[in-house]
Each structure stands twice: as C-alpha cells, then as structure tokens.
Structure 1
Amino acid sequence: MKKLTLDEFYTKKISTNYVLMITGCDEYPKSLEEISQHFLRNIMRANPEARNTENGECRMEDADPGDDDLINPLDMITAVFLCADSFLQQVLMQKMSQCQFALPLLLPDSGKGNITFMLWAMRQIVKNWKLQKNASSMEESLVSIQMPFISFIRVGVCSVSKSKLLNSILSNEKHDFFVHREMECGDIPRKCSDGLVEMAMFCPCGKSNIDVFETQFSILNLRGDARDHLVQLEFLKANSNAMFILIDREIDAEEMPILCDSKARLFIIQNQNINNRSSNTNVITDTLSQLKIKPTLIEKGRHNDAAFTKKLRSYITTFLQSTENHETLEGMVHVAGSLNIRIDECERKCSESKDKVNSIMDIIEKSRVKESKQRYLPLQGDMWHKWAETNKEQSREVRAKFGGDPRVFVLTVLGVQSTGKSTLLNTMFGLQFTVSSGRCTRGAFMQLMSIDDELKQELECDFILVIDTEGLKAPELATHHDSYEHDNELATTSGKNQSAYLCIRILAMSLLLTKT
C-alpha cells in the first residue's frame, strides 16, 4: 500500500468522485507512487494498457530496476480494490469487463486476514452472447447467468504459465484476459495477490470462424499454490463443475487428500521431465485410486504450445457438451458463508440499500408511476418549482456579492440512436451512462465533473458538465406523427443552454460513431 501511496485509503476508501476529477497526467507514471493513479484513470477510460505497471524510471535505456522499484500488476489491482469503496468497486468491475480483463471474484486481504466474495461489485455487469449464427442475442446480469464454471489451480511450482495457457484457450486473438509472467512486470514476485481468485467469462458470438467454444461458461483461476489457500480451494471444489490441476513435479501422496470431497470432475495436467513422468503418474494414479478419486490425466508430453492448447480445448468442449449442471454467482453465496468468506453484499450499507430499492420497486409495481411520484415524491411538483424560483433569487445575490458564477464547460453529445454516443462519453471521461443494444437512453442525463485546481486556469473553467441525450430517429418512435418534432425539440434543448459557459454539440454520422 505504501509503495503505491494507497495506505491512507485502506481505511478511508477512494470514492468514484475522486477518480472522476479531471487532472493533468503524463502518458506514463513517472514513479512507482503514481502507478495506482494511472491505473485508475486509464481503467475508467477502458484503456487496455491500464494494467501496465512500468514507470518512467524503468523506461530509461540504462535503467536496471530491482524488484523493489517495480510491482506486479496483480498486486496493484488487489491493492486498488481493497482501497476502493463499494460503489467504485462496481465501476472498476464494469470497466475491467469492458476491457475483457479477468475480474477479482475472491479478494484476499492479508492485512485483515479475510477473503471477500465480490458479488455486489459485479452486480452492474451485463453480458450478452449468441449461441447460434441466426439466433437472437441473449443478455443477462453476470451474477444471474446459469453456466458451467471451470476452475484452474496449480499444486507446487509450475514451469508452464497457467494464466498464459488460459489466455490461449479462451481466444485465438492473443488477448490477455489474465495477467501472466511474460507480461510487463508479470514476473515480479507477488506481495498481496496470492490467494486471489479471478473470473473470466467466455461469451460466444454465434460465428463458427471466431468462437472457440459454442456455449457460455466461466473460468475461475486461483493465484498461487493451492496448498497455501485451502479456503479458496474448498470454495472452488464446491462451486466448480470441472477442475483442472497443473502439476509440474513429483508430489507426495500426503498432498493428494486436498482434492477429496470435490463435486467437480477432476483433470490433472502433467508437465514433467520425460524420465520421471511414468513413475510420478503411477504415484498419482495409485494415490487417487485409494482416495476413490478418478481424474482424467492429461500429459503435455512433446506437444508444443499450440498443439497443447488445441488438446485442452478438446477436453473442455467435450466436458461442456456432457454437463447439464449449471451454477450462478448468486448461488455461491451459501458456500461462501459456510467457509466464513466475507460477502460484500451482506455488509450493512449494501443490505440496507437493497431493502430500500426492493420496497420502492414493490410500491411502483402495485400502483401507477404518476400516482407513486405524486404520493412519494411531492417535492418534485409545485414545491420543487417554488424552490427553484427561490434558489434563482438567492443565486443572484451570491453573484452580486462574490462576482460571478463558477465557470461551466457544457459538452453535449447528439446523434442517431445506437451509434455509440453513451459509449463515447464513458470512454472519454470514465463515466457510467447506460449502454446496451437498442434504445437505452431516454431524455437527457448529465454528470458534473470537477476539475483539479491546477487545470482550472488552463482550461478556463471550474467544472465540466457532460450531457448524454436520447438518440435521434428512434425506430420505436418512427410511427408517431410527431417524431420529427420530438427530435427537433431534443436537438434544440441540447444546443441552447443559457447557463452554460460554453456548449459544444457533436452531431456525429452513424457510420463514424459505429466505428468508434
């Protein structure tokens, strides 16, 4: 924490507003202390290079940094999540999901000696997939998706990078879902992330030339030696449909009982010296037989990486075709609780918020929206109008006394529906405007962003107000006789904001924004 200057946030958590503040920053962090801030700024903008932990001192041609001058990306991610409040954790999860990064499912906290099941943090993630070419897309909240879970663990030290192997299994595009030892700083010894369990979901697109698997499923990856993290291992044994175990050396018979009482189908991957392989295989087979465990043994042998990846894909495909038992993340709560794993969603603030939301939704479902607003939100009617008039008069007095209003730069995006307007703003500013297929933005939504004091003079404004608007030419409104008036009113409202210091309208063509 101290190396990343995050120690002050270990108890006083980082908020979303703190991260959204617009500040000046260099392309790369100048020192180790700036790495966490660069990660936060870059991941909020869905930058795929956000996990790079090299700093300016390491990029010098004659630099020869030691381990104390560098940090493993997994340590950085673990430290940031431990120092973020629950709302920022949700945002970080969404951004990491957009970058197709593996997500922290079980978060270890070595300082407090506990493990957290990150269910609440994943609540806002929505995944979509298509099983067949001509089938309609399916969309659901990640925590509610029923699917097989396949876990990967290692016993002892392995010469093969488990995480790199997983990346090659999941995609032909050489995308790094999981951080591995051959990435920048991936070989730096880990300090706080051993015991982390990460999750990566495979979502088919329905195209046989792209999909390496035909159905949706998730991979769970335990960091570190499984023998050192028995609680996480028990969690995986109880919730996995299949478990792949990497073994790279001779193991003692006394170590095998840790695999007992697993409901998962076991696959043991061996990558050993040819001379020792036969004897160790016999030891493993005999020991597991005595324990009444019947795993499938997979030997890497003389296969190169590409051939071995193809071999493992075949095993996984066969398993997915034969299994009918699907799990959900929500369904794993009872197992986590039985293992004394902390569940973020069971914290007081989260549970109270959920109860309040559910009570409000029950009220809305039992009565009309208009009636509910008049009854439960009376301040949004005439009283709100009167308050606004009073506030205007008070604002005039404040301007006269202090010499003017704060300077606000208003940025409005306007364009055809489903052309990526909300996504563009989210990527540019790290915001959370709703995005999905079809008509997801209705009306106009805004986010006020503060600016660092050092940049206010340079940018000549004190705040930036970002406005996301409903798309024009919505197919749902095409049959309405006043659809053109609706679009004109929306464009006029977006373009004329008299209280703004400056208003920019972006009227982007569909083709241009579709490419972005």
Structure 2
Amino acid sequence: IRLDLKYGRSKMESHEEGGPRISAVPQLLKRLGLGMNYNNKLTKGGFLEITTSSIQKKESKTEKDLVHTFMQRLLTIDYTAKHLSVKTEGPIPKSQHTAGKGSFVAFFKKNAKNKENKQIKVHPMDVQMAVFLCADPFLQQIMVTKLSQCQYAVPLLVSNPSTGNIEFPLWTMRQISKSWKTTDTSGRVTSKTLPMYKAQTPMVAFFRIGSISSSKSQLMNRLINEKHNTFFHRDCPGSSRDTDNFSDCVAFCNLHGDSSINETQRKILTEMSSVNVVLLPQLDESDNNMVIVQELFEGSKPLIVVLTDEEDNDDDDDDDEGEDDVCEIRERKYRVSLKGRNQSDVSVALREVIKNCLSEQPVTFSVEKIAEHSEITVDEDNEDCKRGKKSAQGMMRFLKREDPSTVKEKYLPCQGKLWHDWCQKNKDLRLKSETVELEKSEKEEKLKQIRRKQQNHGFSELMGLFVGSLRSLLDTEKMYFLKWTTILLDDFTLETCSVLLQEYHQKWSEVLALKKTDKEKLKTEQLNLEMISNKLNFASFGLEHILREMGQIYEASVSERREDRVKDEDLSYLPELAAELMISGNPMELMDGDAAHVPLVWVSAVLDKVIRKLGDQRVFVLSVLGIQSSGKSTMLNAMFGLQFAVSAGRCTRGAFMQLVKVSEEMKEELKFDYILVVDTEGLRALELAGTDTLHHDNELATFVVGLRNMTLINIFGENLSEMQDTLQIVIQAFMRMKKVRLNPSCVFVHQNVTDVAAGEKMMEGRRRLQENLDEMTKLAAKDEVYDAECFSDIIAFDVQKDVKYFSQLWEGSPPMAPPNPRYSENVQELKRDIVSRASKTNCMKLSH
C-alpha cells in the first residue's frame, strides 16, 4: 500500500498480494539485472556516485538500464522517473505474411509473430517495486522520501516475494513531513506541519472486486488532482487542470488487484477507513463476492459502490445533467454507474459525496498505528533498527519535560556562551595587529580560561551516551542510531519551532509592508523580527548541534594540556568518529553559523582522519551562495541526490560539506576523486538587516567563495532590484579573493524564471546583469581600494556561458504541486556543465 499526506488531501496505494506475481519476481529481477541484489541489497552509495550514466542525457537502451534511469530521475525529484521505456533502435518490423504481401489485402492479415516468444514489456511500477525489494532500508527510505516529494503515492503494505508475508515499511516514512491548511472550530484557517507517520486523518479506501473495465487509479487521480498522476494507472494521460479538491487533509488508499483474493489487506483497510469505495463490474446477487459488499453495506461506515459495466436502471427523463450520477440507496450508502456517463461529471459528483461523508466527524487513523496489526510484519522490527532506536531513546530520556529553548544550554554547554565569547575574543585578537604585547598576552590568557571552563564541563550525560553509542554500535546499528536521533530530536522540537516559524513569517510580512509605508516603525519591528529569529535558533536542536559539541569538547581538550589529566582522557577518537560519518555520507558542519566561526582545529583534525582512511584524494569544491529561501539546498539535493536540510524557516545556520564520490570509471577522465559540496545558510534580505547582519553576510560570502573551485550564485526570480543586494556582497567577496591571488570561478543561477525558452528575453536579461555587475564592481572597487572597471577584471566571467536560467520548481501552487520536470532538466544540465568544467580545472587535494 502507498501513502502521501498533502495540503488538502493525502493518499495511499496498495500493491496486490505479491506486487508483481510472486512466481514472476525472480524472472523480473533477472531481466532488470537485479538477480544478485535480492539478498545482497542495493545501497545509496551506488546511485549517488558521479558515473557516466548519471551525467549523460539518454534513454534506456536495454532493460538492465531501466533501474539506473529510474533511480537517477527519482533522486533528482524528476517525476518522469515513472515514464520508463526501452528505446529500440532499428527498422520497424515488417509483416511476416507472404501471401498477398504488399497488397491492400495485407492490411487485413494478422501478424504471424510467434506470441509464445514475445516478451511482455517491463511495467514502470514493476521497476519501482523491484528496486524497492532489492534496496537496503536506508535506500528504501530515500526512495520513499523522493516519491513523496514527486507527489506520488508511496508503498504502505508490500508482500514479501520470499515468504508471502505482508510487510509494513514504516521506517521508510520516518523522514517525511507534510504541511497543510486546516480550519478550526472558530472558522480560522491555520497551517499545520506534522511527520507523515503521526498525522491523524480520515482515510478513503478504494478497492475492486473481480475484473473491471475502468481504471480505479485513474478515477482516484481525477478525484485528487487532475493534473498529476498520483497513482500509476494503465494509461496515465496528461491533463490541463490544477485544482485543490479537498479542503482538509484526507488519505486516499488504493488496494491493487482483486480485493476478494487479498483478504488480509482488505480487512486492514476497511478497519482503518472512514469511507469505503468498491469498484465492481456489476451487481449480481448470485456472485459469491456479494458477501463482501453486503458486509460493508450492513456496516456503520459510508459505502460507495461504483459499477463500471452496468448502466443505471433509472429510466426517468431528467434534463439536469449530473443529478442522478450518484444514487443514495439508504443513509450513507451510495451506488454510482460509470457506463454511458461523462467521467468528469461522475468525478465531481463522487467527490461531493466523499466530502459530505467526511464532514460528519469521520473515523481517523495514523500510519504509525498500522504497526499494531498482528497480521503484518513491520520493517522496524529487525534487530539492528531496534538497537539503534534503543540507544537514541536512551539519550532522549534526558530531554523529557524539558523546554526545547533551554536544553542546549544545559546539555551542550561547550558551544553556547563560552564558545561565542571565545570566537569574539579570538577575532579581536587577530584584527588588532598593533596590540601591545602585554595586552595581547592578557587576551590570550582569557582565551585559555574559556577553554579551561569548556574542559571542566566535559561530556554531559547526553553527550556521553551519544559518543558511547557511536563507539560501541556496529556500522548498520550506528546508521540507524543517527537516523533515530534525528527523528526523535525533530519530534522533540516540532511544536515549539512550528509556532515560532509562524510568528517569524508573520512578522517578516509586516516588516516588508512597513518598508513601503512607515520607515520609523520599521526599525522597531526589525528588532522584534531579530528576537523571534534568536528564539528560533535557541529552540532548534538537531544532530548538527550534538556533533558541534563533540568538536568543541575536542578543541578544548587539545588547546589546554592539563597536568591532572589521566591517560584515558585522550579524545583523538572524536575526529575519527566524525570522519567515519562524513565518509558514510553525512553532512559535516564546516562553519558554525551561530558563532560565525570556523572551528579550524576540529575541521582539520576530521579531514586528517578522512585522509588517513581514504588517502589524500583530489577534490573539486562546489559551494552555493544566495539569499535565504531561494532554493539553494533544494538545487544541490536535486543535482546530486543529497538530503541537505530543506525548510522554510531559518533553522539551518552556517555551512555544511558533503562528499560526492566519483566512480572508478570516471576518475581518470575527470582527474578528481570527489566533489566536495558545500551548502550554506542564506544571506538575509538587506531590507530586514541591521549592521551586524550585513557584517555576518559579508564574512559568510568571503568564506564561501574563498573555498574555491566554483561558487553557484543563486538568484531567485528576475527582479534586478532584488538581485543587487546579493550581487553587492558577492562582488566584494570576489574582489578580496583577487587581492590574495585566489581565482575561484562562479556561475549565476536565476531560479523561478517564467519562460526559459524565450531566447530574446534571456539575452536582454544577460545584458542587464552584465551592466549591473560592471556598475557595482566600480562602486565596490572604491570601498575596497582596488583598481577594477568591470566584473571580468576581478574574475574570469563570460555572461553567455556563466549565467543559467531555471524554470520554476513547482508545477502549480505548493505544497500540493509536483516538482517541475523542466526544473530537474535544468539542474542536470548545470551538473553536466559543472563536471565538464571540473575536468579541466586543477583540483586541490583534501590536505590543502
């Protein structure tokens, strides 16, 4: 079964028992080249590498290419992942008949191909489920998360081909959160955000009895979203309308196959559902399956019976179209006939009936509660997952009944005020080069005192458990432990952060309005906005904060060697633990955004351990810079299939780095071994900013572009006045690089452009950008006391090659809209360009 919660509605889809028929599974896996992977599971590493196929735009030529094509598109949030086919090359097959060949009579002859030797094409849904069955739990979780982002239904109940048991992949849904708007009892519309597995919603269950002529999935798509095929069906045609058909969150569940055979799944669904919709060819009292219909009819829940092959017996002549599309047999029991009816009219009428049924305080369910059914197996019941969860829950017991805004101060003391004071004093010491020796000595002593205080704090109970778990758990258990820690911490801070985010967005809107109307009141509201932002930072508590505390404990340890330290206090294992996490694909904090400081001792120690494990690898450094909420993390995630945190609030601060491996086949051609991807926090819009924020943004930009080799300058929209704030900061940063003889490159990415195909419009946009860059370069040159007349004087720049235009991310209005496939194409075109340029660049070593 498959699930996805969205604004206005949610939906689920169920595979018939065995998905692809159990007897056919081994044959299917063999055809897709997955024969060896059912027991030796596929991992995310194999799909995230830079390979020839991942950077080339081509159709699958063989069935064995289908898996990689599907996964590459899915990981880059391209919903055409399900539009799979094998591209056949060669002439169109000719008729095998000899008699009358070439004559008009030949049109009436049936092809004499041997049907026994003709192989049925692999269905795209079979490709998806074959990869899902062969994937390890962490790749399955990524797949389901990406399916949800593509606005597809996700697996909910899946039959195990080996045992026939019905499995519930709860683990795969743990990362998915959904937002929707709801109306409270007073009529006030509010936004709501919850993890999918916790959301309490009504559910409409769809299933069929026997063989029917109409597509059940197609009918469901028309009910939910006529533009996007949430459920994959036999035809999957396009559509031109984009509407929100339900005013609150509803789950739609689609049981594939004949429900009279899939009895266990049918019973689970009807037990949880608020409304049952049954499709069957016709009503026949002699049919044994009528027992199922009668049982539902006599039950307390609303029932809608949809007849696909039987016309309604109502002979009344009624000129009002659509009024008799639905016939109410008795209270909340309905019959609908599809034959001879306009499908669009029937969908409208059926939708109204469902909405009416749901308006009467329906039964609700949550995904997590499905695990309580004794007839199914839950994927989280494996021993590795249970050990990882137990360790994470052991940590979380310290946070029970604690206020999220104060827990960091209590359990992560080394990164709070002490660390911020150390950073400020360290900056003061380095900025004042003319400081007399005595004053310099005094400041150095204060830095040492702060480090001693950090040492005295040492490991809190929470940190002791975290580090102890990382050291004691096996590799797979450790991966589960980190995931569970993230899940439980998100759950812990969810309510507080959601409220603060709403306050932040409301205040931001007020500040933007005041900019145009009341400049005097603007400053006061800017301070209020800053206060909310600080509260949000205090309440944010994630895995990155725990890893940051590890870094500070280590830095304090190596900066001050105390005589009273015992031998087993050596903490050199801490950077080794962080290096293992980085190698396994976890992002590592490069710059602490709260303190606006790079913990050089810690970062250097971690990279040294990485070098010791991997060797001194060649890396191409790719960073991104742009204002907040401009789609930087989303772009990097789509480009490389990564999972950098994406949120509408300012919960992520600083800069994070992640290694993307180059496959062995590509290393010689590209001349580097890894891409080091650096994601950064957004620059704040200058109209909301004070002096401190401007200084912070300038420091961030200088640091990011100084990492080299390439910086993506992300600009949202085409408004030049909105671009100028970002351009000013970027130009000054590149000018500083030029002064110290560093030569990074840059590419400007304009996101959310309405018409990327309009050549003349794009030429005009490039011309205006060039003029702005040159003009602002002259102004910046005066501030920086540097001789430059145009932007190309400070950096190699070609306005034709180094400016990219991206389509808007969504097809319609989020959060219901699916991602725009054209956006994914734009991202992949940029990726190919980056890799091509990188192959001609002198890449640095990790040790540099």
Determine the structure 1 residue equivalent to 2:210. Answer: 156
Determine the structure 2 residue equivalent to 1:272. Answer: 309
Determine the structure 2 residue equivalent to 1:178. Answer: 231
Q: Residues 420 and 398 from structure 1, CA distance in 2 versus in 1: closer, same or farther, beyond 3 angstroms? A: closer
**Partners of 2:272 and 2:364 within 8 A in 1:** no
Question: In the alignment, is residue 24 of structure 1 matched against residue 61 of structure 2?
Answer: no
Determine the structure 1 residue equivalent to 2:83. Answer: 52
Question: In the alignment, is residue 121 of structure 1 matched against residue 165 of structure 2?
Answer: no
SS in 1 for 2:657: strand
Determine the structure 1 residue equivalent to 2:578. Answer: none
Offset from partner CA, 1:365-414 (integer Å, 9 cap, x none): 66513248831258634646755779979999999xx9x93210111111
SS in 2 for 1:57: coil
Determine the structure 2 residue equivalent to 1:146. Answer: 200
* Bigger relative contact order, structure 1 or 2 (CA pairs below 8 A, ≥6 apart): 1
Determine the structure 2 residue equivalent to 1:414. Answer: 625
- The correspondence for 1:38, drawn from 69, 75, 97, is 69
- The correspondence for 2:335, drawn from 297, 303, 317, is 297
Per-residue deviation, 1:310? 1.2
Q: TM-score, normalised by structure 2?
A: 0.51
**Partners of 1:411 and 1:503 within 8 A in 2:** yes
**Partners of 2:312 and 2:337 within 8 A in 1:** no
Alignment of 1:175-324 (within 5 A): 175-183=228-236, 210-249=243-282, 251=284, 252-259=286-293, 260=295, 264-274=301-311, 295-324=333-362
Q: Residues 114 and 277 from structure 1, CA distance in 2 versus in 1: closer, same or farther, beyond 3 angstroms? A: farther
The range that moved more, 315-324 or 75-84, is 315-324
CA distance in 2 between counterparts of 1:397 and 1:306 reads 62
**Partners of 1:46 and 1:99 within 8 A in 2:** yes
SS in 1 for 2:30: coil
Q: Residues 407 and 311 from structure 1, CA distance in 2 versus in 1: closer, same or farther, beyond 3 angstroms? A: same
**Partners of 1:267 and 1:297 within 8 A in 2:** yes
CA distance in 1 between counterparts of 2:659 and 2:610 reads 20
**Partners of 1:148 and 1:240 within 8 A in 2:** yes
Per-residue deviation, 1:56? 1.8
Offset from partner CA, 1:29-78 (integer Å, 9 cap, x none): 11011111111111000111101231122797559998625211221111
Offset from partner CA, 1:65-107 (integer Å, 9 cap, x none): 9862521122111111111111111111111111111111111
Q: Residues 296 and 333 from structure 1, CA distance in 2 versus in 1: closer, same or farther, beyond 3 angstroms? A: same
SS in 2 for 1:49: helix
SS in 1 for 2:344: helix
Question: In the alignment, is residue 486 of structure 1 matched against residue 521 of structure 2?
Answer: no
Per-residue deviation, 1:108? 1.5
Question: In the alignment, is residue 167 of structure 1 matched against residue 229 of structure 2?
Answer: no
Q: Residues 213 and 67 from structure 1, CA distance in 2 versus in 1: closer, same or farther, beyond 3 angstroms? A: farther
Offset from partner CA, 1:256-307 (integer Å, 9 cap, x none): 33353766432111122449999xxxxxxxxxx9xx9984222224311111
- The correspondence for 1:456, drawn from 660, 664, 667, is 667
Determine the structure 1 residue equivalent to 2:387. Answer: 352
CA distance in 2 between counterparts of 1:396 and 1:348 reads 34
Offset from partner CA, 1:169-226 (integer Å, 9 cap, x none): 11132x1111111149xxxxxxxxxxxxxxxxxxxxxxxx932121110110011111
Code of the aligned partner of 1:317: K
Code of the aligned partner of 2:65: E
The range that moved more, 252-261 or 239-248, is 252-261
Code of the aligned partner of 1:461: F
The range that moved more, 66-75 or 349-358, is 66-75
Q: Residues 294 and 438 from structure 1, CA distance in 2 versus in 1: closer, same or farther, beyond 3 angstroms? A: closer
The range that moved more, 315-324 or 358-367, is 358-367
**Partners of 1:363 and 1:372 within 8 A in 2:** no
Determine the structure 2 residue equivalent to 1:196. Answer: none
Q: Residues 115 and 390 from structure 1, CA distance in 2 versus in 1: closer, same or farther, beyond 3 angstroms? A: closer
**Partners of 1:266 and 1:295 within 8 A in 2:** yes
Per-residue deviation, 1:507? 1.8
Determine the structure 1 residue equivalent to 2:709. Answer: 503
CA distance in 2 between counterparts of 1:493 and 1:116 reads 48
CA distance in 1 between counterparts of 2:93 and 2:656 reads 50
Code of the aligned partner of 1:149: M
Code of the aligned partner of 1:257: V
Alignment of 1:372-387 (within 5 A): 374-375=458-459, 376=463, 380-381=551-552, 383=554, 386=558, 387=572
Q: Residues 371 and 165 from structure 1, CA distance in 2 versus in 1: closer, same or farther, beyond 3 angstroms? A: same
Q: Residues 85 and 93 from structure 1, CA distance in 2 versus in 1: closer, same or farther, beyond 3 angstroms? A: same
**Partners of 1:156 and 1:249 within 8 A in 2:** no
Code of the aligned partner of 2:369: G
CA distance in 1 between counterparts of 2:608 and 2:305 reads 74
CA distance in 1 between counterparts of 2:178 and 2:605 reads 48
Q: Residues 322 and 379 from structure 1, CA distance in 2 versus in 1: closer, same or farther, beyond 3 angstroms? A: closer
Question: In the alignment, is residue 438 of structure 1 matched against residue 649 of structure 2?
Answer: yes
Aligned residues: 470
CA distance in 2 between counterparts of 1:412 and 1:15 reads 26
Question: In the alignment, is residue 513 of structure 1 matched against residue 751 of structure 2?
Answer: yes
CA distance in 1 between counterparts of 2:689 and 2:607 reads 44
Q: Residues 350 and 397 from structure 1, CA distance in 2 versus in 1: closer, same or farther, beyond 3 angstroms? A: closer
Q: Which ranges in structure 1 are unaligned for 5 or more consecutive residues?
A: 185-208, 279-288
Structure with bigger gyration radius: 2
CA distance in 2 between counterparts of 1:390 and 1:351 reads 32
Question: In the alignment, is residue 425 of structure 1 matched against residue 636 of structure 2?
Answer: yes
- The correspondence for 1:101, drawn from 152, 155, 163, is 152
Code of the aligned partner of 1:258: I
CA distance in 1 between counterparts of 2:121 and 2:672 reads 37
CA distance in 1 between counterparts of 2:314 and 2:123 reads 33
Code of the aligned partner of 1:312: L
The range that moved more, 359-368 or 409-418, is 359-368
Offset from partner CA, 1:324-365 (integer Å, 9 cap, x none): 322111122212xx22x1111222222222222222233356
CA distance in 1 between counterparts of 2:382 and 2:314 reads 49
**Partners of 2:144 and 2:173 within 8 A in 1:** yes
Instruction: Name the structure with the higher helix share.
Output: 2
The range that moved more, 323-332 or 156-165, is 323-332
Offset from partner CA, 1:109-139 (integer Å, 9 cap, x none): 2222111112111111111112469834221
Q: Residues 330 and 382 from structure 1, CA distance in 2 versus in 1: closer, same or farther, beyond 3 angstroms? A: closer
CA distance in 2 between counterparts of 1:253 and 1:472 reads 67
Per-residue deviation, 1:478? 5.1
CA distance in 2 between counterparts of 1:264 and 1:76 reads 36
Determine the structure 1 residue equivalent to 2:372. Answer: 334
**Partners of 1:32 and 1:69 within 8 A in 2:** no
Q: Percent identity?
A: 32
Offset from partner CA, 1:439-463 (integer Å, 9 cap, x none): 2422122221111122223322111
**Partners of 1:410 and 1:464 within 8 A in 2:** yes
